[in-house]
A and B are shown apart, each in its own frame.
Chain A
Amino acid sequence: MATHDDIALDEEFAQASLRGSLLRRLFAYTRPYRRAMVTNLVLTLLATASTLAGPRLIQHGIDHALAPMLGTREASDAAIADAARGILFLSGLYLGNLLLGWALTIVQVRTSIETGQGAMNDLRLAVFEHIQRLSLNYFDRTHQGRIIARADSDIDSLDRVLTWGAGQALSSLATLAGVIVLMVHYDARLSLAVCLVLPPLGWLTVWFHRRGREAYRSLRGTQSRLIAAMAENISGVRVVQAFVREAENLRRFRSLHADFTDRWVASARVFHTYMPAVGLLSGLATAIVLGYGGWRVQQGALTVGGLAAFVLYLGLFFGPIQAMGDLYNALLSAAASAERIFALLDTEPQVRDAAGAPDLPRLEGRVSFEGVGFRYDTTPADRWVLEDIAFEVPAGSTVALVGPTGSGKTSIISLLARFYEPQAGCIRIDGLPISDHTLASLHRQLGMVTQENFLFTGTVMDNLKFGRAEATDEEVVAAARALGTHAVIERLPAGYATEIRERGANVSAGERQLLTITRAMVADPRILILDEATSAVDSQTERVIQHALGTLFQRRTSLVIAHRLSTVRHANLILVLDHGRIVERGTHDSLLTSGGLYARMQAELVRT
């Protein structure tokens, strides 16, 4: 069975084939930054030339100023002074070359980052905007973490290629070509001899990247198991102590870690084979230069300065090959990320406004379901989640939906919010089919309180204004007062200015419920959709919640998935669902007396 971790691991290590169309589409995002990119590439060529010039200057100094003097033991002072001037001039040139390199680096870094981050952030925005358009069916069938990865880590992983890729590729190629040309210029035969190390180096680099990935992949799998084991023992520490498992768990953790260490070493061994081998090849190349090159010097086919330059050029020879191997690898991973990102961008939203659909007028709130049938994308084809649902709710009344888990309550409210389109039947508000009107005009008149009571980071006030950004602080406070939640909010550390941490981690479950109820009140929707939270709260908070809900239900149509006895008692209509059908309907009293499923389910609705 593939766990989520395995899938994440697969994604992390995926490599796509380098299709031209994919890369073209990816690099199209750099087009707005073309000027920076072209500047960068031109400067890269200049910088390469500057780097290559260094050894050439040293060779010149040795051959034209130093070596001639060595032959003549007793050189004239004038000759020495002349040679010293030559040396000084060359040092000056070298210094100028360094200054040029310095200036080039500054501009290169800036233009690279401007191009890369510009493109990445445009892409990030495009993904984010597209996610806003997608319908809930996409969110149902795709794991949350994976959608987040598309807009987050997948885009981050393009950094290497988009920011540095073009510059590095050009610089590596130019350096390699330049070094070979210069070596050939000094001595073609010696160059040929040195180039003997290139094929094994290339083969080694390919081997390294292939084996390295495999080993690293297996390492990452074990590593995430290790972290999970640690995390699990912390979350479950009470159980660990209760069952006296400390010694046993420590033993298991140690053996897991021993396994991890083995894989770590195996993965390191790949790298620590590659590096010594590269060192061996570069040493071999130097030996060729010294031995064969030395012989060539003795033959008079090469100058001493030329030999020194050869040694220095060798230092520039190996870097580009390793860099290109690296880059190719990065390109394969980036292509895989880009493929996943574009797949998201190419997903069409399921629920869309029909062409020229009008806005809904201000709604009264008369809701009717007419023969509605529905299944999710993931539902087997022979099954329905909702079947032949028909009911009508007068404007301003409260409807409670009850039924066992999986009976279709959530699907009904999702359809009313038009998160999905039903496959059969029609949903109308005030007699108008919602599918013929714009989604935005429906959602503007809708308020929702969900089970998870989701809060966003920001102040409490920001959160309360979430459904109506233009509300004033006074309006928010007035709404909270009307609900009786004002006192609770005031008791928070900084009252309305309290900063909510991620997912409301710093407020209790009860406070979260009260805040989301207030949020819905501020939005003052025509239609309220509420999925009551089941988490237990203390009796004091429970009383505040009940009072607040009672107030919220007034003056609007409310559809409630009810877990509270108080809610169902006060509902104008109770719909009892079972296996996607409405099996009973009526008020609390009438349903209790009829003695059906509702009466049997009473035990569940114990919270008053």
Chain B
Amino acid sequence: MPDPGDPKPDPPIAPLAAVRRIVRFLARRPGWAALSIGLLLIHIGIELALPQFVGQAITALAAAGTRAELGRLVGTFLGLVVLRAVVGLVLGPIRNRTAQSTLGDIRAAVYDALQRRSFAWHDNARTGELISRAGTDVGRLQDLFFVCLLFGVDVAAGLVGTLTLIFLTSPRLGLVALAALVPTVATMGWFAARLQPRWRRVHERHGAMSTVIQENIAGVRVVKAFAREPAEIAKFRARRAEFLRELSEAVNYWAGRVPLSQFLFGLAVPLTLWVGGGEVLRGTLALGDLATVLVYQMALGGRIGVIGQITNILQNASSAAQRVVELLDGPEAPGARVGGDRGESQTLERREPIGGAIAFEGVSFRHTSEPSLRVLEASKAATPNQGGSGGSGGASATSGMPGPAVRAMALQDLTFEVPAGASVAVVGPTGSGKSTLLSLIARFHEPTAGRIRLDGTDLRDWNRDTLRRSLGMVFQETFLFSASIAENIALGRPGASRAEIEAAACAARADGFVQELPQGYDTIIGERGLSLSGGQRQRIAIARALLIDPRILLLDDATSAIDPSTEQEIREAMAGLCRGRTVFRVAQRASTVRDADLILILDGGRGVAVGRHDALLADCALYRELFADAGPPETLA
């Protein structure tokens, strides 16, 4: 394991390599990609051919050509116009489907990579940052695909094609076009690169201003209680002034420079007029060809205008690609894929039904504090301000980790044995390692030293999914997905019938409140649906665990304020759940502890004592302290 005190990060993937990785996803749909680009090239070809007919018509008219000749030219022109419309009509949906399906592959790859990461990795990553990375950065790749790959092909092919055609018409006019084009593109790239940090600062200032608004409204009670309204207005005014200052800085820079590029490009027309006019006069160029070149020049203007934009998007997208590739390439959780973990082949993994006897043998564990994400956002401000519309509101998940200090051992040299079917109460002060112990049994984390045996076999030699399908877990906080109650209960067994789900809910004492809801089991809950109370959520979690009929139960129940009658119901539900299974339960209250077959007392990661209630009351000082504070057992409801 790397020493956390010595930051030696792997070099992050180079931007270009990252972009190549991302673009390679297109290769999964070679036919569609080829079709898109082929049609696009045809479209550009027609586009470039059209001015030729305009020029020929003018030449014909100037030379007093026949009406039939004119008619033929116009007829061909019209035919090409119709063909262009048809190609455009077909091309649009095809290229959109190609790009968006490829993005779907990338999104799914990121989604899957993230859900296979180890708990340790997720512990050290900030949820909010992950969510924004998975959302915003993949969104920026969307720009990469649409603007650069398709639009970029358009601009590049258009530029090269137009220039070639002008050269073919008249080499001197080609040189004129090139002479105008090169400084235009150069200055545009130059200005775009210098403008980007300025716009980023504007966004930053805008973000700072928005932060004042958001905090002011979120903290409205504090603001009012301390009579801070005037100070808040002053703060807002100051932020607003900073924003306006940055904005006018950027605008002045823009206004002072970018129109220069447009001017430089505009020079092509009078130069063409002058040089081309001379050629026409000398008889080396047809009048219509001069007109063709002028039309080409004007069409180029439209393509040139987006070059600065493309430069910006490429820059943003390449850093986004770096961050996305980092998400794709991170370490997988132990056992996330069959086989490989300890070098054994898949066939050696134990998959038979689990009995439930657990033994800890000298188990120690230390959380790593290596940050999970290294490629940092160049600037948060590059994220456009989304307002409240996304509504993902990750604000609730603030249980985040403390600073990246060197972590102490969370568990140290723990040894004990539990027979199948026994119930264990894990007891100890906050931070003593109770939840960590449970997470080791579920193989969310791997011991740093020592080993855990299940039915006599090292946990690592069990198939991970077999293990987890035999585990029922109730966490401190019940995570509900934005789905119906039935789907939430059937989380571990998506194929469960409605009758089975209802039976589990009844046993968990959840049926009562569910039936009272307007849509019953079909009520949508979670972030985007109805929010349930703490007690209700917990009963959903118990129903979830019951439905998979686990051999081992890991209960890390919440202690947050739940009113006494709910508390009673939950206790009854828990009792039903525990019968006949191996149970590890983090216990806060004396009543639950007393009934356990075995009590395990932790303090600072060490096992202080193991035994039954009466024995521990007699000889364990910490146990007495923990359960004496709440008053004598009689007053505990």
A320 to chain B, nearest CB (A): 15
A193 lies within 8 A of chain B by Cβ: no
Q: Assuming the A-B contacts A5-B528, A230-B107, A231-B131, are A151 and B213 also in contact, with contact meaning beta carbons closer than 8 angstroms in the complex?
A: yes
Q: In the complex, are the beta carbons of B387 and A58 less than 8 A apart? A: no
B14 lies within 8 A of chain A by Cβ: no
Q: In the complex, are the beta carbons of A261 and B97 less than 8 A apart? A: yes
Q: In the complex, are the beta carbons of B221 and A448 less than 8 A apart? A: yes
| B96, B135, B225 pick with most chain A CB within 10 angstroms | B225
Closest A residue by C-beta to B384: A156
- In B408-463, the 8 Å CB interface with A consists of 429-431, 442, 444
A596 to chain B, nearest CB (A): 13
A4 to chain B, nearest CB (A): 5
Instruction: Choose one: B60, B294, B588; the contact of A606 (CB below 8 Å).
Output: B588
Q: In the complex, are the beta carbons of A295 and B67 less than 8 A apart? A: yes
| A230, A245, A277, A457 pick with most chain B CB within 10 angstroms | A230
B231 lies within 8 A of chain A by Cβ: yes
- In B221-246, the 8 Å CB interface with A consists of 221-229, 231-233, 236-237, 240, 243-244
A359 to chain B, nearest CB (A): 12
For A537, the chain B residues whose CB sits under 8 A away are 430
A424 to chain B, nearest CB (A): 23
Q: In the complex, are the beta carbons of B78 and A128 less than 8 A apart? A: no
B530 lies within 8 A of chain A by Cβ: yes
Instruction: Choose one: B122, B388, B635; the contact of A153 (CB below 8 Å).
Output: B388
Binds A, one of B272-280, B304-312, B605-613: B272-280
Q: In the complex, are the beta carbons of A153 and B385 less than 8 A apart? A: yes
Binds B, one of A26-34, A37-45, A246-254, A548-556: A246-254
Main secondary structure of the interface of A (DSSP, over half): helix
- In A47-90, the 8 Å CB interface with B consists of 54, 58, 61-62, 65-67, 69-70, 73, 75, 80, 83-84, 87-88, 90
Q: In the complex, are the beta carbons of A243 and B492 less than 8 A apart? A: yes
For A9, the chain B residues whose CB sits under 8 A away are 389
A198 to B97, CA, bound (A): 32
A482 to B115, CA, bound (A): 48
Q: In the complex, are the beta carbons of A276 and B84 less than 8 A apart? A: yes
Q: In the complex, are the beta carbons of B97 and A265 less than 8 A apart? A: yes
Contact with A along B39-67 (1 / 0, CB 8 A): 00000000000100110011011111001
Q: In the complex, are the beta carbons of B492 and A505 less than 8 A apart? A: no
Instruction: Choose one: A129, A239, A308; the contact of B491 (CB below 8 Å).
Output: A239
Closest A residue by C-beta to B77: A287
A149 lies within 8 A of chain B by Cβ: yes
B563 lies within 8 A of chain A by Cβ: yes
For A249, the chain B residues whose CB sits under 8 A away are 111, 115
Contact with B along A224-245 (1 / 0, CB 8 A): 1011111111111111111111
| A12, A264, A277 pick with most chain B CB within 10 angstroms | A264
Q: Assuming the A-B contacts A110-B251, A149-B387, A276-B88, are A307 and B262 also in contact, with contact meaning beta carbons closer than 8 angstroms in the complex?
A: no
A250 to B391, CA, bound (A): 22
B116 lies within 8 A of chain A by Cβ: yes
Q: In the complex, are the beta carbons of B251 and A603 less than 8 A apart? A: no
A197 to chain B, nearest CB (A): 12
A362 lies within 8 A of chain B by Cβ: no
B265 to chain A, nearest CB (A): 10
B149 lies within 8 A of chain A by Cβ: no
B441 to chain A, nearest CB (A): 11
Binds A, one of B346-354, B358-366, B397-405, B501-509: B397-405
B191 lies within 8 A of chain A by Cβ: no
Q: In the complex, are the beta carbons of A304 and B58 less than 8 A apart? A: yes
Task: Give the size category of A's interface with B.
Answer: 35 or more
A280 to chain B, nearest CB (A): 4
Closest B residue by C-beta to A282: B81
Q: In the complex, are the beta carbons of B635 and A602 less than 8 A apart? A: yes
Q: In the complex, are the beta carbons of B294 and A87 less than 8 A apart? A: no
Instruction: Choose one: A280, A294, A315, A456; the contact of B61 (CB below 8 Å).
Output: A294
Q: In the complex, are the beta carbons of A145 and B388 less than 8 A apart? A: yes
A141 to chain B, nearest CB (A): 13
Closest A residue by C-beta to B237: A125
A260 to B104, CA, bound (A): 9
For A493, the chain B residues whose CB sits under 8 A away are 403
Q: In the complex, are the beta carbons of B471 and A242 less than 8 A apart? A: yes
Q: Assuming the A-B contacts A66-B281, A261-B97, are A91 and B122 also in contact, with contact meaning beta carbons closer than 8 angstroms in the complex?
A: no
A88 to B228, CA, bound (A): 70
Q: In the complex, are the beta carbons of A277 and B389 less than 8 A apart? A: no
B473 lies within 8 A of chain A by Cβ: yes
Q: In the complex, are the beta carbons of A128 and B636 less than 8 A apart? A: no
For A83, the chain B residues whose CB sits under 8 A away are 277, 281
For B479, the chain A residues whose CB sits under 8 A away are 235-236, 238-239
Closest B residue by C-beta to A243: B492
Instruction: Choose one: B116, B394, B429, B469; the contact of A235 (CB below 8 Å).
Output: B394
A315 to B77, CA, bound (A): 16
Q: In the complex, are the beta carbons of B224 and A443 less than 8 A apart? A: yes
Closest A residue by C-beta to B392: A231
Q: In the complex, are the beta carbons of B100 and A265 less than 8 A apart? A: yes
For B87, the chain A residues whose CB sits under 8 A away are 276
Q: In the complex, are the beta carbons of B127 and A279 less than 8 A apart? A: no
For A233, the chain B residues whose CB sits under 8 A away are 111, 114-115
Q: In the complex, are the beta carbons of A269 and B387 less than 8 A apart? A: no
B37 lies within 8 A of chain A by Cβ: no
Contact with A along B202-236 (1 / 0, CB 8 A): 00000001110111111111111111110111001
A335 to chain B, nearest CB (A): 18
Binds B, one of A16-24, A99-107, A326-334, A380-388: A99-107
B143 lies within 8 A of chain A by Cβ: no
A139 lies within 8 A of chain B by Cβ: yes
A445 to chain B, nearest CB (A): 9
Q: In the complex, are the beta carbons of A269 and B92 less than 8 A apart? A: yes
Instruction: Choose one: A236, A243, A275, A290; the contact of B544 (CB below 8 Å).
Output: A243
Binds A, one of B2-10, B158-166, B252-260, B318-326: B252-260
| A148, A237, A503 pick with most chain B CB within 10 angstroms | A237
Q: Assuming the A-B contacts A149-B387, A156-B385, are A61 and B287 also in contact, with contact meaning beta carbons closer than 8 angstroms in the complex?
A: no
Closest B residue by C-beta to A69: B281
For A260, the chain B residues whose CB sits under 8 A away are 100, 104
For B481, the chain A residues whose CB sits under 8 A away are 232, 236
For A265, the chain B residues whose CB sits under 8 A away are 93, 96-97, 100
Q: In the complex, are the beta carbons of B291 and A308 less than 8 A apart? A: yes
For B134, the chain A residues whose CB sits under 8 A away are 230-231, 234
B91 lies within 8 A of chain A by Cβ: yes
A503 to B222, CA, bound (A): 13
For A147, the chain B residues whose CB sits under 8 A away are 217
Closest A residue by C-beta to B146: A268
- In A118-134, the 8 Å CB interface with B consists of 121, 124-125, 128-129, 131-133
Closest A residue by C-beta to B101: A261
Contact with B along A590-608 (1 / 0, CB 8 A): 0000000001111110101
A379 lies within 8 A of chain B by Cβ: no
B96 to chain A, nearest CB (A): 4
A579 lies within 8 A of chain B by Cβ: no
- In B483-504, the 8 Å CB interface with A consists of 491-492, 494
B152 lies within 8 A of chain A by Cβ: no
A193 to chain B, nearest CB (A): 13
For A508, the chain B residues whose CB sits under 8 A away are 402
Binds A, one of B19-27, B68-76, B577-585, B594-602: B68-76
Instruction: Choose one: B224, B544, B629; the contact of A136 (CB below 8 Å).
Output: B224
Q: In the complex, are the beta carbons of B528 and A228 less than 8 A apart? A: yes
Extra 16 A-B pairs, beta carbons < 8 Å, given A58-B294, A261-B104: A4-B528, A8-B388, A80-B281, A84-B278, A152-B214, A152-B385, A224-B390, A230-B107, A232-B526, A235-B127, A237-B122, A243-B468, A272-B92, A273-B92, A297-B61, A419-B224
List 7 A–B pairs whose Cβ atoms lie within 8 Å, in order of A's numbering: A62-B291, A109-B259, A113-B251, A148-B213, A240-B115, A536-B559, A606-B630
The 10 closest A-B CB pairs, nearest first, are A272-B92, A283-B81, A153-B387, A145-B388, A276-B88, A443-B227, A448-B225, A87-B277, A603-B637, A243-B492
